[in-house]
Each structure stands twice: as C-alpha cells, then as structure tokens.
Amino acid sequence: MRWLHVVLLIPAAVSATLNLKQYKPSFSQQQFPSPEEDSLHHVVSKRQREPKFLTNQTRKFVVNGAALPEVDFDVGESYAGLLNIDKNNDTAGKLYFWFFPSERKVADKEILIWLTGGPGCSSTGELLSLNGPMIWQPGMYKPVKNKWSWHRITNVVWIDQPIGTGFSQGTPEAQDEFDVARQFLSFWRNFVDTFAMQGYQVYVTGSSYSGMYCPYIASAMLDSNNKDYFNVAGMQVFDGVYSVDSVAEEIPVASYVDRWQNVFAFNDSFRQTVKNVSQKCGYDDYMRKYLVYPPTELQPGMPPGVDEDGNVTPACDVWSMVQAAAAEITPCFSVYTVTNLCPIKYDPLGFSDGSMYRAKGSGPVYFNREDVKRAINAPLDKEWVFCTETPVFTNRTDKSIKEGPGSQPVLPNVIDRTHNVILAHGTKDFILVDDGTLLTIQNLTWGGQMGFQTKPTAPLYVPYHNNNNPETLAGAGVMGTVHSERGLTYLAVSTAGHFLAMDAPSVAFRSVEVLVGRRDGFDSRPFTFEGNATAAMPSGELGNGTVVMFPQSADSRCGRLSGAEPIRSDGTSRWAMNDQSVFALALATTLAVVLDLQSFGV
C-alpha cells in the first residue's frame, strides 16, 4: 500500500508548493548570458566611453585603467592620489583618494563617498575587496571584474581617512569626531574644486567605525548650509559603531549565542555560564526593557557591566568569554563572519579576517608593491596596511565615543534633513552584533517620535538576475528583513557578516540603488543594469523577512511556526499560504491518515 500513498500524495504536494514556485525564476530565466554577449557589452561600453573628468587640473591624478598590475582588463576611467586637506597649506596633511566616475548618464550630478572604519582601516583596501570595479578577495587567484561595483550606479570615491589611514599622510591630530569632520570637510572642498563638482548631490557611506565617521561628517556638511560643496542627499552605514562597546557587543551576546547555537556549539556548562553572566550583569534585563517596539524610555547614559570610566568590567566581559571559547572549538573562528571555517584563506591585502596571515612565498601585500603604487599615484615611501596599529586619534582615544554617547546626538539631524538614511547589518557579524544597531535606533528621536514604532518583519527581497561569472555570484530572493519609518531604513541581512558588501554584494548593490533614488524601495523590480528584464518579478506574497527580531530571535523555536505572523510585501498582515495551499495540505494529511489506518487493518 505504500506505493499508493506516494501516488495519491503527489498531486497534493505539487499543489501545495505552487505558491513557492512563483518566487523562483524558471530554469531558462536562470541561464547565464554567453561570454560572447558579455564581451560585446563591454566592447560597446568602451567605445562609448569618453573621459568625464579629465582636465588640466585632474590630469596628474589619472590612472591608466589598462595598466594595473595583475589586472588583465581595463577598469576604465579613474583618478587617484594625495590631495591636500587644506588647499593652501601643504603641511596640514593629505588624504589619499581613488575616484571612479560612473558611465551612467543619470549619475552626472551626484557623488558617493565610501569610508572604511577601524578606526584606521583603508578605504582603498575595500575598493579591491568589497565594492570597487575590480575585486581580489581572499581565496581568489587574481582580480576579476566586479559585476556589483557601485560605480555601475553612480560616481564613487574611496578615501583613506582620517590622517594616518592607508596611504594618507600627515600627523594625526584629531581628538574627536568633530575634528575628523572638520578635517574631512576641508579636504572635500578641495576635492570638489579639483573635479568641478559644485552642486553635486553627496551620499556619505561607509562601514564599521564609519558609524561614527559618517553621521558626524554628514551632519557637519548639512549644518554648513552650503549646497555648492556639501549638498548631502543621504547616508548609508553597514555594520556600524554608534556608541560604546557594551551596547554593540556585550549586552546582546547571550541572545546572539542562543540564535546561533549550531555555530556556537558549546557544552551545557559553558552555555549556562554565558546565561548567568548576562543575567548577573544586567544585560538580559536591558534587552527586555529597551529593545521593544515602540520604545518606552531613553536608555541610561551608563550601560550595565561597566566601571566608572565606562570600561567593561572583566567579570561582565561575556563577549571575550564567548570569543575565546569559540576559538577553542573552531581555531579559525572569525568574529567578522561566525560561520567561517579553516583553513584561513590567502588574502592579497594581508588582512585575512584580522589574522594578518601571509602564506609562505606570497610576496608583498598588493598595495605595497612599487609597481602598484606607481600605477595608482600612491606615495612610494608609505607602507600600506589594511588597518594601521598606529592611533589615528591623539592619546589613542576618540573622545566622542569615550566621553560621549557616540554618534547618537547627530544621527537624528541627518535623518530629519535628508529623509534618506540606511543602516544595515549582517546577522553573522559578532564583532558588532546586529541587536546593538537596533538598540541604537530605539534610543534615537527623529521625525517627532522615538525609535521604530513597530518591529521589523518585512521581507528584504533581492531580484533574481543573470551572471556569467562564477567569481561574482550573488544571492537573490528574500535575504533578510527590512523596515522603514520616517526616513530611516534598517536592513538585517541573513547571509552577511561584518563585511556586508563582500558577503551579500547583491543586497549592498540594491541598497545603493535605493539610496541614490534608482529604486523607490526594496521591491521586486530588476537591478538597474538588467534593463527591462522581467525575470526578477515575483507575484503574490513574500511572507516574512528571514531575520526574526528579539525576543523571538532568542527562542530556538523561532520562525513561522512559533507565532511569527507572515506579512504581505506591502507591509499588511496576512497568512502566507493561500486557500489552494491550505486545502492541498489538508487533503494530503487526510489521505495519509486514512491510508495508514487501512494499512493496519482499521
């Protein structure tokens, strides 16, 4: 009788999955374009290309895109080099930049700034590893064309700042973020004059410690009321630092470990130790009290678990306890992406997830090669490191975060004046936990209200797309959770760690499309480079986002079956299964029960 079970259940199973198939492209839609078609596209683009920013003033910064060492293709028009912070003072320091104009006509009057965090980590490094025209990521044999380069959307400049970072030159003198912003605005005025960008819309973006840099810089630009130089139209930060370490690390750790219990495969006694420390230090109570929607009150200036100087006490340093224990179980455990495993990958930039691992015989780091430095107008006498150990703040301290509340005082100003701020976070990030960003958001007041009024639940959808290069493959479909209120958008990306644009390049690309106005939101329309393609158009409901928020995220049973109510892609509540699916599943269940009873002679 078992064969009859299978035969009778097939129609019901097929019917029950109809509403799932509508979100996936057909096999024919997934076919990659031929290499010949892709090559033709680049040939046509090259024929149409004329230098957009070549003048007598910019000529000294020209980079020959066809002559970059190890790069066997033309990366196109770009400009790089050192530029004075103070236009009339050579001794005030210089910042290094690498600027890639976009070929898209719609980008003619806008410029996007990318700032890497650290503090003291190089934006030039992330141009090559994250979001630039060519990428050479850990484990790659050589650089490849980056399908997800942000310059395919708009003009982009990567800047090594503040002084002491990357190729930039000078003596670090910044004491806080106000100093960093003043330094940057002076440099930016010089950059705008050099490339004749007066009146351009400016988008300030970055990652990690740029959660400090970007809000202060964007806020200072807006406060200048000078749209010729500082016409800020939006801001975006990935996996950012916005306040003291305990909020982004210590307080959410126990919840994070529960959520990733299959990754943090601790024994029962250590798992209980983590819970006990979190409870004793007040972290659990803090999460339950302040990570609610809408928030009920401001968070205290002094978070739990710290001493009178604001430093986390050893007894409450649960983050370090977890990191050390995880490294014993998984020797190559990465706080940047918790699902990484051994071996450590060769990194041409010498970073290797912070391990600085260099394989024997691998030669110098790419940006320390003399031929590379000459090709990109970098100083020959400067040793480049991805993240410097030399402090970029005097006394090794950023007073804005040591003595103040981080970037929280200036974030609302940027949101209210641009109505266009995106804060995104990869859920695999342990160096900065995603719930720390949500705690920050729930402590902000903008648009006349405090925090998000409702819990993020909507699906973060990324269009299906064509790609003929296996080295730049990227995900599609529902890849996390998205939520927007009053000009602030939050993205929780389920497939990404700390380096979001590396781990989920398609999400990062769509986020930039939204930031600069190419797309109205995270909807189903194709990427801008897909033209009028329709393969990315789903029909029906997308259900919930795939990242469930606290406190449900701390429940090992979390998900759709634990009471998380599905929503439509337009944000209104509704069951994800349609009537046809419900009937089909009911029929399948009934048939199975009847046949099982018959098999037992009932």
Q: Are residues 160 and 288 in the same domain?
A: no
Task: Give the pLDDT mean for 317-337.
Answer: 96
| pLDDT tens track for 28-71 | 333 334 434 444 344 434 444 689 999 999 999 999 999 999 99
**Does position 435 have pLDDT exceeding 90, yes or no?**
yes
Number of domains in the chain: 3
| 208 counts as catalytic | yes
Q: Are residues 328 and 445 in the same domain?
A: no
Q: Mean pLDDT across the chain, nearest whole number?
A: 84
Q: Are residues 359 and 216 in the same domain?
A: no
Amino acid at 108: D
| 41 counts as catalytic | no
| 498 counts as catalytic | yes
Q: Which residues are within 8 A (CB) of 60 and not within 5 positions of it... i.e. 6 or more apart?
A: 81, 377
Enter the pTM of the model: 0.84
Percent of the chain surpassing pLDDT 70? 82
Quote the pLDDT of residue 570: 33
Q: Are residues 256 and 238 in the same domain?
A: no
**From 258, 353, 429, 503, active-site residue:** 429
* pLDDT confidence band for 533 (50 / 70 / 90): low
Q: Are residues 506 and 582 in the same domain?
A: no
Report yes or no on 528 lying in a domain. yes
CA within 13 Å, CB half, 122:
26
Quote the pLDDT of residue 65: 96
Task: Give the pLDDT mean for 148-160.
Answer: 97
Which CATH number goes with the domain that contains 120?
3.40.50.1820
| pLDDT tens track for 387-399 | 999 999 998 889 9
Report yes or no on 380 lying in a domain. no
Q: Are residues 171 and 238 in the same domain?
A: yes
Quote the pLDDT of residue 535: 53
**From 425, 465, 483, 498, active-site residue:** 498
Residue 261: φ, ψ to 5°: -65, -25
Handedness of CA 232, 236, 240, 244 (dihedral sign): positive
Task: Give the pLDDT mean for 282-287.
Answer: 96
Which position has the higher pLDDT, 1 or 372? 372
Q: Are residues 588 and 532 in the same domain?
A: no
**Does position 551 have pLDDT exceeding 50, yes or no?**
yes
| pLDDT tens track for 208-253 | 999 999 999 999 999 999 999 999 999 999 999 999 888 989 999 9
Element of type H or E holding 115 = strand 110-115
Q: Are residues 16 and 47 in the same domain?
A: no
Quote the pLDDT of residue 222: 98
Please calculate the CA angle 217-222-223 and round it to the nearest 5 degrees: 95
CA distances to 83, 162, 188, 264, 503 from 89, rounded to whole Å, are 11, 17, 15, 53, 41
* pLDDT confidence band for 531 (50 / 70 / 90): low
**From 208, 400, 484, 569, active-site residue:** 208
Query: Distance between CA 151 and CA 96 in Å, rounded?
Result: 18
Report yes or no on 411 lying in a domain. yes
Query: Distance between CA 354 and CA 465 in Å, rounded?
Result: 33
DSSP type of residue 86: E
Q: Are residues 404 and 336 in the same domain?
A: no
Residues 513, 153 contacting (CB under 8 angstroms): yes
DSSP type of residue 129: I
Residues 444, 412 contacting (CB under 8 angstroms): yes
Query: Distance between CA 4 and CA 598 in Å, rounded?
Result: 12
| pLDDT tens track for 102-119 | 988 898 899 999 999 999
Q: Are residues 147 and 238 in the same domain?
A: yes
Query: Distance between CA 591 and CA 602 in Å, rounded?
Result: 14
Quote the pLDDT of residue 545: 84
Query: Distance between CA 98 and CA 134 in Å, rounded?
Result: 13
Torsion of CA 475, 481, 487, 488, to 10 degrees: -100
Element of type H or E holding 233 = strand 231-238
Report yes or no on 438 lying in a domain. yes
Quote the pLDDT of residue 470: 84
Q: Which residues are within 8 A (CB) of 265 and not within 5 positions of it... i.e. 6 or more apart?
A: 329
Q: Are residues 286 and 355 in the same domain?
A: yes
Query: Distance between CA 482 and CA 216 in Å, rounded?
Result: 25
Q: Which residues are within 8 A (CB) of 96 and not within 5 positions of it... i.e. 6 or more apart?
A: 80, 81, 82, 83, 124, 159, 160, 166, 167, 168, 169, 378, 379
Quote the pLDDT of residue 404: 72
Report yes or no on 473 lying in a domain. yes
Query: Distance between CA 464 and CA 24 in Å, rounded?
Result: 8
* pLDDT confidence band for 402 (50 / 70 / 90): confident
Which position has the higher pLDDT, 235 or 308? 235
Report yes or no on 226 lying in a domain. yes
Q: Are residues 201 and 69 in the same domain?
A: yes
Domain that holds residue 11: 2-23+572-599
Report yes or no on 559 lying in a domain. no
Quote the pLDDT of residue 450: 98
Element of type H or E holding 235 = strand 231-238
